[in-house]
């Protein structure tokens, strides 16, 4: 079970991500599956990046915290409260920049570890394109 401060962080980041998505209206392309998500994400990012402004998850920041941070164009603070302080300022900056400067396409890797994770992410992402990679028995311990 998640601690109360992680739940608050997730909800705050979801609020910020939702506001950014509504403000800038990028095309959201979501990738999920058991294996091959990161490789697929990178391939799509490279191809689309030759013609569009594209942003994708850094590394495998593909959960309830990492996906909103990608939308904000920010990095997390880990376990340090002080390292989280720039995130609201990054949100305000990203919200206020002209839409022509925000990425036209977000290529987002979605990591799903538990029942309900996908519902949580899709509640605010509303992807127009979905890619499902291979499905296997990996990452099923919490299902």
Structure confidence at residue 113 (pLDDT): 85
Nearest-angstrom CA–CA distance, 23 and 99: 8
**For the chain, first and last CA: distance in Å?**
14
pLDDT digits (tens, 9 = 90+) for 67-124: 999 999 998 888 888 899 999 999 999 999 999 999 999 999 999 888 899 999 999 9
Nearest-angstrom CA–CA distance, 87 and 77: 8
Structure confidence at residue 141 (pLDDT): 64
How many alpha carbons fall within 13 Å on the CB side of residue 105?
A: 19
The DSSP code for 35 is: B
Angle at 39 between CA 28 and CA 76, to 5 degrees: 60
The answer, as to whether pTM is greater than 0.75, is: yes
pLDDT digits (tens, 9 = 90+) for 29-62: 999 998 899 999 999 999 999 999 999 998 879 9
Question: Residue 103 region, left (φ>0) first, then alpha (ψ -120 to 50), else beta?
Answer: beta
Fold of 4-132: 3.40.1190
- Other C-beta atoms closer than 10 Å to the C-beta of 34 total 15
What are the backbone dihedrals phi and psi of residue 135, each rounded to the nearest 5 degrees, phi first? -110, 130
- Which residue ranges make up each domain of the chain? 4-132
pLDDT at 143 over 60: no
Structure confidence at residue 1 (pLDDT): 64
3-state helix, strand, coil in the chain (%, to 5): 50, 15, 40
Structure confidence at residue 78 (pLDDT): 83
Mean pLDDT of the chain: 92
């Amino acid at each position: 079970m998640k601690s109360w401060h992680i739940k608050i962080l997730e909800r705050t980041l979801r609020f910020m991500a939702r506001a950014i998505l509504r403000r800038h209206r990028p095309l959201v392309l979501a990738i999920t599956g058991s294996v091959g998500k990161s490789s697929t994400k990178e391939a799509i990012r490279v191809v689309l990046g030759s013609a569009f402004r594209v942003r994708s998850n850094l590394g495998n920041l593909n959960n309830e915290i990492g996906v909103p941070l990608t939308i904000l164009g920010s990095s997390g603070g880990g376990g340090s409260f002080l390292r989280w302080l720039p995130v609201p300022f990054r949100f305000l900056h990203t919200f206020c920049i002209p839409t022509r400067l925000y990425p036209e396409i977000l290529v987002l890797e979605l990591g799903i570890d538990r029942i309900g994770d996908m519902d949580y992410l899709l509640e605010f992402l509303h992807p127009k394109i979905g890619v499902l990679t291979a499905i296997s028995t990996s990452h099923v311990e919490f299902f």
